[in-house]
Amino acid sequence: MNTQLIGSSRPTKVVNFARVLPLFSSEQGTQQVIPSRSHVGTHLALRSADPAVALVPRRGNRGVATSLAKLPNQTFSIPTVQGTLQPIAGTSDLKSIGVSEMNLAPGLPRFVNAATLKRMLKAKSSELLLKKIDGRWEVMENSGRIDLLDDSVEFRLGAIQIFS
């Protein structure tokens, strides 16, 4: 079998392996292996002469010091009430019986619907969510959108009788 070079090409760069190979020589029974590049950078790892031992990363002060900042806690609270509501007459007799609170987790969406908010506040399915509009209380539908960070809107939650 005869091997022939097609075309006339000369090497563009000559590599002297006598200088490169000592970089990969063993040190005290270990070999240096270059792992793949990560987002932090390329680090050398040591491979033990024992085949049962996996790669051992080389530790050093090259890493970036990181720390996580504590996020501020935010709470959302709604007064709980009981009583009666007469929308036609425009009157209400609501008595405050406490406050329902919940911690707002970081990353929680700013806008939720009324059904989700009632579930997050651990309200009973029979309890209603009221919203104050133009000085009177109106029952919020479960699909109603609520901004958790808007303090200008008043809400009440509780077991309420509605007389029509």
Q: Which tops the pLDDT comparison, 112 or 31? A: 112
Q: Which tops the pLDDT comparison, 1 or 129? A: 129
Average pLDDT, the chain: 77
pLDDT of residue 8: 63
pLDDT of residue 68: 75
Lowest mean pLDDT among 3-17, 73-87, 99-113, 121-135: 3-17
In the DSSP assignment, the letter for residue 125 is: T
Q: Is residue 140 pLDDT above 60, yes or no?
A: yes
In the DSSP assignment, the letter for residue 29 is: T
pLDDT of residue 83: 92
pLDDT digits (tens, 9 = 90+) for 34-86: 555 555 555 555 555 666 555 555 555 555 666 777 777 788 899 999 999 88
Spell out the residues 6+ positions from residue 14 whose beta carbon is closer than 8 angstroms to its own: none
The whole-model pTM stands at 0.55
pLDDT of residue 127: 93
* Residues 92, 96, 98: CA angle, nearest 5 degrees: 150
CATH 3.10.20 residue window(s) in the chain? 75-162
Q: What percent of the chain has pLDDT over 90?
A: 32
Question: Any idea which residue has 């509501």 for tokens?
Answer: 85
Q: CATH top-level class for 75-162?
A: alpha beta
pLDDT of residue 159: 92
Chain-centre distance of CA 90, in angstroms? 44
Per the DSSP assignment, residues forming a β-bridge with 79 are 99
